[in-house]
């Protein structure tokens, strides 16, 4: 709608944006295929998306190789901050920005030891160093860590259904 409204208000603009939509769902490989299709067959100049951090991490490498900017409005994994790519832009706050609030809760209750439970993914593992630092800042330590395997969503590798 914004696209139509803009050109409706500015019919004299000669440069036109063309929006091409692909929906890879939650699939990392689908996101990569969609981006590859857009870069090779449509010769796009920029890509808005992907939605998930796991997709963004994978797709940002494609953007670097093709020198096509990838702009994500919702990827929040802290591991994306350190990638240093000139072709990947994340506009959402990193989830690491929330660890201060968790540390404040720990401090308010006077807890000195924390049992950390997190998912064994790039997302979960990427947040741990920030949590450790934030808890140390409030004189709390992580006394136990439990890593949980991610839930399979019916991938081809294990052939399990949801």
Domain range 2-92, its CATH number among 3.40.190.10, 3.40.50.12240, 3.40.50.2300, 3.40.50.300:
3.40.50.2300
Contact predicate 126/78, CB 8 Å: yes
User: Which tokens go with 47?
Assistant: 């890509």
The whole-chain average pLDDT of the chain stands at: 83
Pick the CATH number of 96-148 from 3.65.10.10, 3.40.50.800, 3.40.50.2300, 1.20.58.760: 3.40.50.2300
Q: Which is nearest to 31 in space by CA: 56, 63, 67, 48? A: 56
- Say whether pLDDT at 9 is over 80: yes
Q: Which of 47, 50, 45 is nearest to 30 (CA)?
A: 50
What is the 8-class DSSP label of residue 156? T
Q: What angle do CA 2, 93, 116 make, to 5 degrees?
A: 140
Provide CATH 3.40.50.2300 ranges for the chain: 2-92, 96-148
Q: Which tens digit of pLDDT belongs to each residue from 120-152?
A: 887 788 889 999 999 999 999 999 999 999 876
Q: Is the pLDDT of residue 83 over 80?
A: no
Query: Cβ–Cβ contacts within 10 Å for residue 76, how many?
Result: 20
Tell me how far apart the alpha carbons of residues 21 and 32 are, in angstroms, rounded to a whole number: 14
pTM score = 0.62
């Amino acid at each position: 709608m914004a696209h139509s409204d803009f050109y409706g208000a500015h019919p004299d603009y000669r440069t036109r944006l063309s929006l091409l939509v692909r929906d890879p769902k939650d699939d990392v490989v689908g996101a990569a295929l969609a981006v590859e299709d857009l870069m090779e067959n449509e010769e796009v100049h920029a890509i808005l998306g992907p939605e998930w951090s796991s997709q963004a991490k994978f797709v940002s490498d494609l953007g670097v190789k093709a020198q096509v900017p990838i702009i994500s409005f919702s990827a929040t994994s802290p591991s994306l901050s350190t990638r240093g790519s000139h072709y990947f832009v994340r506009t959402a706050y990193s989830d690491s920005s929330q660890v201060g609030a968790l540390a404040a809760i720990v401090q308010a209750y006077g807890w000195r030891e924390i049992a950390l439970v997190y998912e064994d993914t790039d997302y979960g593992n990427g947040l741990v160093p920030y949590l450790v630092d934030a808890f140390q800042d409030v004189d709390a330590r992580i006394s136990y860590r439990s890593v949980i395997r991610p839930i399979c969503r019916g991938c081809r590798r294990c052939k399990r259904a949801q």
